[in-house]
Chains A and B, each alone.
Chain A
């Protein structure tokens, strides 16, 4: 850790936030692993809108305590659809989808992904995708709890 970073860390500790825990080299922005091992993952699932309720319930059943849902538009292999107004045809490229985001402890991730697949699958094109990525840190704002306790 560089001198600047240490000084910034001291300042941050004074403010109640530990910068070093974020694992960033402030001087270069380079990512480092040496202080913290990732113990959480973020799941982003793009699903068909009508499957939202089922997926939510399935995730609840495997112990997920929260999630963020957004209405999004996009396309994959399903592509768009065609609308016809009298003689005029228009291709609509972007289809409405739902994106669910949630962060879970590593130990729960496989089970949650399985639950999403089971609930969202119709077997037809356009069922969506799931992306899983590492999460460096999580903080609950109210209590300032960190890591797995915060998700």
Chain B
């Protein structure tokens, strides 16, 4: 643990040592006339640029800060995405573990929330969204310690949402992504190992990947970067969030090995009720995740909201009905898994597909991850404790590919800007390239990081601690008394 803390301290000092360049005062500009002021208001309603936002603008704006509607929407969405992790994900995962490990899941989610926030503040946000350093990683220093990230919009990402709100919104994604990995390694990884792994994984996998896909000059940002080498699209994080965490989770759970007694002891969920409550919270929070990714309360957000609802509901129903047909009983875990799978698969597509597309996605999201969890996992015998791979990697991969086939300019005019020629034809090939990059980066980095962590603090608790349960061993508390 000491090694871990000193490592983070070193990183913080290294970043702070780099000096920040202050912008010089801009030249004097004229006040806008009445017509220009009305045009600014129209821009606010239409989520477009003000006259003053142009690089060579000669006028100022009377509404130079954030727009209240878009900004309010974005703050609510940010809170909803945090709600997905705390408590949505820890209840969903927590209900699925045995009762001696419930608190370890809660602690790991809280631990990640704190750790990732500190990284994000120090250099993470800058690394992802600071432009000017190239297509694969952002500037380490441009927004280091969130310098210059204030309540005024950063027009690279939004004309009407405060820069600080945007950075907090994106922070919530950075928190939930590594937390998803916890599902595969539940009940058998030391708390210190989880923290060290996540700290390194964020720097090596998440930050570069998020920059490549969402950074304004990112290599795989097909929507906004005309010079992107891979013209892929990912509305809310199919590759960045679900594929990266899901594929890393598979590798990490293989390196860790199965839980003690896996396949011999009863490891049934200790509370399906808790799991179902968590699922409901995830679904609600996912509106912030998907609709909020429009970074404006506009028509694209409305479309994302609609497709998210349909895909989740259809997938939940399909998964449970498959169980009904095959096993004779639709299970609660089936409904819950289907809902989450539907939400995962629609994530990269939600702002790009229409309602018909979302129904197709819903049906496939109920079918393909179901087959992965019900047949692939028992066949290959890996211990992906709570099915992070089966739901998030398989679902995220499926979603990224389907987005390539189903995206349409009819619901999102931004697809006509840089992708006019490939949408509806060869976009899926670009998607395949982005998927390959994501899988290779996640798999290779996870192997390296896992063995580093193993060498530094060790991955697994002692057999005695694991048998006793991580709640007492790692946290000195019990989830339930008596």
- Find the B residue at minimum CB distance from A92: B266
Residue B15 lies at the interface, judged by CB distance under 8 Å to chain A: no
Question: Are B267 and A88 closer than 8 Å at their CB atoms?
Answer: yes
Q: Which of A86, A90, A92 has the most CB of B within 10 A?
A: A86
Q: A88-B267, A90-B268, A91-B266 are in contact. List 9 more A-B contacts (CB 8 A).
A: A84-B327, A86-B333, A86-B334, A86-B374, A87-B373, A87-B374, A87-B387, A88-B378, A92-B268
Question: Given the complex of chains A and B, what is the CA–CA distance between A90 and B226 in angstroms?
Answer: 53
B390 → chain A, closest Cβ, in Å?
Answer: 7
User: Chain B contact residues (Cβ within 8 angstroms of A): what range?
Assistant: 10 to 19
A80 to chain B, nearest CB (A): 10
- Chain B proximity of A96: nearest CB distance (Å): 15
Alpha-carbon distance between A86 and B183 when the two chains are bound, in angstroms: 14
Cβ of A83 within 8 Å of any chain B Cβ, yes or no, is yes
Q: Which chain A positions have C-beta within 8 A of B390?
A: 86-87
Q: Is the CB of A85 within 8 A of B327?
A: no
Cβ of A87 and Cβ of B377 under 8 Å apart?
yes
Asked whether any CB of chain A lies closer than 8 Å to the CB of B331, the reply is yes
Please indicate the chain A residues that have their CB under 8 angstroms from the CB of B377 in the complex.
86-87
Q: Is the CB of A85 within 8 A of B378?
A: no
Contacts of B337 in A (CB 8 A): 86
Is B324 engaged at the interface, CB distance under 8 Å to the other chain? no
B268/A86 in contact, CB under 8 A: no
Tell me the smallest distance from the CB of A83 to a CB of chain B, in Å.
6
Distance of A85 Cα from B333 Cα, bound (Å)? 7
Alpha-carbon separation in the docked complex, A40 to B306 (Å): 72
Interface of B is mostly: helix
Interface status of B269 (Cβ within 8 A of chain A): yes
A91–B265 Cα gap in the complex (Å)?
A: 9
**Residue in A closest to B323 when the chains form the complex, CB atoms:** A84
A91 and B378 CA atoms in complex are apart in Å by: 16
Smallest CB–CB gap between B375 and chain A, Å? 7
Contact among A87, A90, A92 with B267 in the assembled complex (CB-CB below 8 Å):
A90
Question: Complex Cα distance A84/B272, Å?
Answer: 12
For B268, list chain A residues within 8 Å (CB). Answer: 83, 85, 88, 90, 92
Q: Which residues of A contact B333 (CB under 8 A)?
A: 85-86
For residue B201, give the distance in angstroms from its CB to the closest CB of chain A.
25
Which residue of A has the minimal Cβ distance to B372? A87
Q: Which residue of the partner chain A has the closest CB to B337?
A: A86
By a CB distance below 8 angstroms, the chain B residues around A85 are: 96, 268-269, 331, 333
Q: In the complex, A100 Cα to B366 Cα: how many Å?
A: 46
| Separation of A85 and B385 alpha carbons in the complex (Å) | 11
Complex Cα gap A90–B98 (Å): 13
* Complexed CA–CA distance, A86 and B337 (Å): 8
The reply to whether B267 and A86 form a contact with Cβ atoms under 8 Å apart is: no
Bound CA–CA A88/B98 (angstroms): 14
Give the docked Cα–Cα distance between A109 and B378 (Å): 53
**Closest CB of chain B to A118's CB: distance in Å?**
32
Contact pattern, B 356-396, Cβ under 8 Å of A = 1, otherwise 0: 00000000000000000111111000000001001000000
Can you identify 8 A-B contacts, CB atoms within 8 angstroms? A83-B268, A85-B333, A86-B374, A87-B375, A87-B376, A88-B378, A90-B266, A92-B266
